[in-house]
A and B are shown apart, each in its own frame.
Chain A
């Protein structure tokens, strides 16, 4: 008997018991929708957290904090380490920054600001993706680059505390620096305690360029990049590496060594996301303490894989319960159709054909249920993502993070559900189908079953 004919046969049989078949399909659809929606919460939260994690930092960036020495302690990275890192395979750039240990006081006219100041290797920064929004790269010793938001941090010294900020906590426009910064001269004030007295030295710098606006809206870039020569000038005044202040009140040992070439911030950029894991492994092999988004993603993925598997397992229990309904429907179908089965066997129907017809019927019920369940779960998922943030906002007055997804149904989820449903329905239809093949022809034709 051809599959197409078996299929038509099944459809005819199902039409005879529309109500019962409909209720069984409904139960299966509900079970499938339950499985998909339940697991979709795991998938949704996983996706949201991954998105949040990858958006907070550059995914190809690997932070290197130091190198482990034999005794388990970590030392800061030096030029030699930078060279070793640059020679690793699949490394696009190694950004290294030396922080200035000063307040970072800058002034232009009546406006002043405090900014974190760094000395950096500009070619590496450019390789890593650093771009300017205005001006050019520094060419002279006293030229600097300021961050995109540096201008906004400049506040007039005439600003009065009572109206410095508006109701939203934003600096009042009239106290903000309004002019252009490129080419303008700023005064950097270096400080040091000398003979118990705080001494100051003004160093003149010129803004060569302004960094590009950070891609994430919430990031404020107020950093200042100075040249190696300017740093040396500061160090010459302070007499300490990176302008470190020797506060006589702190009681700490005074630092005087200015021949220190270590880096506070070292970031290795891999060529692509796929290469991050390999580079991280190499770094670990060479005893570098590193951290990348891949390490974080690995942990997140592992936790959510367990969560999702658990949710799918709970959902499968619902399908198993629905399979009892399928078993019942198929058993009743076999009993009701026993005379017909007897006639078919009498005229030459192969027992295998009879079995196939009933298995096809149970799997047909299961598959229709799974498909309806999938459609319903997509509707529920959409409704959940639409309604829950509104409900939470109106009930608790809290705004949820943008892009937070309560429910997400990837293609794989309905596929898993359909496969589980198909296996379960085949198993639940197997026994009734086997019973059908064992029906005694003579008893069936005498209507004794």
Chain B
């Protein structure tokens, strides 16, 4: 489903003539199979968010290749990646990233609007998905009127609405209390089991990491997995 090959990335800071290159990721290779939940863990600055942003196409890698659904997305233009993203990838963000001036219904409906789905189908699908995440009674509420857990469920509903084969989640429970966190993790597990959706979750929380079929640990921009004795065993 997701194949990362020899991925390396640096950040350049400073102005022309006085640039400093900060290495972020070095020679990262791994694969996520369909229906898997894979978690990527690591300390702050280990490069896990950079890795997710590279897979999402928000930044382009300096070296290496990324394949999603057997399509090499490494060198896709911004426009083509946008078209690919809306069809194949759902996103869940730590801070939910809901548009505050839109109701829960409108936020969830947004990807369908961008896809050009007609109004009747949009309404039906959005109501179904809001029912699935248990928020149909809150559909006319604005994000500011919902709790953190509810907002994250709206965010999940928005990610699910285009029926993507893979969902990328960046610290999905980072803004939630422990009780809500457990509810959400259970919800993700259920989605994975019932709908077969592949999840790639970035987290620094051990409890979140535990829901994954596999965990990849990043240290200083490289894959490090002590429980698997060698890096090669992690690489598939």
Contacts and interface: CB of A to CB of B under 8 A. Distances in A.
A335 to B, nearest CB: 15
A349 interface: yes
Interface string B22-57: 000000000000000000000000000000010010
Query: Which bucket holds chain B's interface residue count?
Result: 20 to 34
A343 B82 contact: no
A346 B170 CA distance: 13
Interface stretch (A98-106, A286-294, A350-358, A364-372): A350-358
A441 B58 contact: yes
Contact of B101 (A340, A342, A351): A340
Interface residues of A, number: 22
B111 interface: yes
Contact of A347 (B79, B95, B158): B158
A437 to B, nearest CB: 8
With most chain A CB atoms within 10 A of its CB, the pick from B56, B58, B87, B111 is B58
Given A343-B97, A442-B53, A350 B58 contact: no
B113 A346 contact: no
Interface in B123-139: none
Contact of B58 (A343, A344, A346): A346
B58 A347 contact: no
B93 interface: yes
A16 interface: yes
Interface in A308-361: 340, 342-353
Nearest to B94: A445
A228 B86 CA distance: 97
A18 interface: no
A353 B83 CA distance: 11
A103 to B, nearest CB: 90
A442 B58 contact: yes
Interface in B67-100: 78-79, 82-83, 85-87, 89, 91, 93, 95, 97-99
B116 interface: yes
A1 B91 contact: no
29 contacts: A1-B114, A1-B115, A1-B116, A5-B113, A5-B116, A9-B113, A340-B99, A343-B98, A344-B110, A344-B114, A346-B56, A346-B93, A347-B110, A347-B158, A348-B82, A348-B86, A348-B87, A349-B82, A349-B86, A350-B79, A350-B114, A351-B78, A351-B79, A352-B79, A441-B58, A442-B58, A442-B59, A445-B93, A445-B97
Interface of B: 53, 56, 58-59, 78-79, 82-83, 85-87, 89, 91, 93, 95, 97-99, 101, 110-111, 113-116, 158, 162
Given A348-B83, A350-B82, 4 more contacts: A12-B101, A342-B97, A343-B97, A344-B114
Q: Which 6 A-B pairs have the closest CB atoms?
A: A348-B86, A348-B85, A350-B82, A441-B58, A343-B97, A5-B113
